[in-house]
Amino acid sequence: MADDLLSQLKRMTTVVADTGDLEAIRRFAPSDATTNPSLILQAAQQDGRRARLAEIARHATDIDDALDAVAVEIGSEISALVPGHVSTEVSARLSFDTEATLARARSLIERYARHGVGPERILIKVAATWEGIQAAKVLEREGIHTNLTLLFSFAQARACADAGVTLVSPFVGRILDWHKAQAPEADLEGDRDPGVQSVRRIYEYYKGHGFETIVMGASFRNSGEIQALAGCDRLTISPALLGELAEAEGPLERRLAPLGAETRPPEPQDEAEFRWALNEDAMATEKLAEGIRKFMADQRKLETLLGELRRQA
C-alpha cells in the first residue's frame, strides 16, 4: 500500500505545524511549530487555560507583560513536543519600530530561558517591513534566530536574504486570495497559483545565489498548494490540511530541489529601493497592511481578555 501524502512530504520537506493546539501537534508529530497572535488567542481560549490565564494576568506588570508571558508559556509547552524550532511573534504593534522590536525580541528570549528553553530552539517572528527586517539583521548578529512573516513580495524576500535572516515565511494562500478577488474567473489552480509561483521564485533565487535563509511556505488554502511546493525547505501547515494529507494516498512528486549556487547575489537593496519596489506591488502592499491589522485585531482580543482577568484579580 502506498504511503500517505504527509509521510511522503516529510521525506523531502521539513513539516511544521501552524498551530498552538497541543493535541494537534501530538497527533501529527511535526519537526517544528509556528504561532502567531491569532493562534495564541485560539490556544489561550481552550478549555482548562482560563485559570492559568487569570494567574498570569494577576502577576503581570502590564498587559504587554501578560501577553508575552502567555505566548512564551504556550511556546514552551510546544517546545516539549517538537524536536526543532518554535516560532513566537513580536507584537504586530511594533511592526514599524526597529528599536522596540529589538527590545521585545530580547525579552522573549530571556523569558524562554527562564522556562528552560534555549535560544537555539526559538525563532522570533517579525513582520517583513523595512523596520522589522533591520531589527532581524541585528538580532541575527546577536545569535537570536528570526522568522520573517507576512512576506508577500520578492522585494521583501531579497531584503530578508540581504539581512541574513534564518527563515522567511512567504504567504501562499493570501496571495491567491488577492488574485482571485481581482480576477474571479481566472484559472489559478496548480502551477498557475500565484502564491505557489511566488514561493518558487524566492526558493530559486535563494538557492541560485547561495543564500542560507530557509524558505518556509505558509498560509495554505488547499492541499494542492502544498503538493505543488513539495521539496521546499519547510512548509508550515494547519492541522486541517495536515489531516487531509495524512488521509490521502498516491505518489507525491518532488517539485523543488536545490540546484546549487550559480551566480553571485546582486548588491543589497537600500531602503529607498525596497520601499519603491514594495509600493509598486499592489498585492503585497495591501496584504502586508491587512496582515498586520488582522494580527493586531486578535492581539487586542487577547489583551481585552487578560485585562478583564487582571481587573477581577
The residues assigned a catalytic role are 125
Place of cell 537600500: 270
What residue ranges in 9-121 does DSSP mark as E strands? 14-18, 32-34, 86-89
How far, in Å, CA of 229 to CA of 209, rounded? Answer: 20
Cα dist. 4→92, 222, 242, 246, 301 in Å?
Answer: 37, 16, 11, 6, 38
Give Cα separations from 232 to 4, 15, 127, 214 (angstroms): 18, 10, 21, 9
Cβ–Cβ under 8 Å, residues 243 and 4: no
- CA 265 to CA 287: how far, in whole Å? 27
Q: How far apart are CA 32 and CA 15, in angstroms?
A: 7
Residue 120 in contact with residue 166, Cβ under 8 Å? no
Q: Quote the CA–CA distance of 206 and 258 in Å, as a whole number.
A: 9
Residue where the block lists cell 482560563: 50
Return the C-alpha cell found at 284. 503585497
- The answer for residues whose C-beta is within 8 angstroms of residue 9's C-beta and 6 or more apart is 15, 226, 227, 230, 235, 245, 252
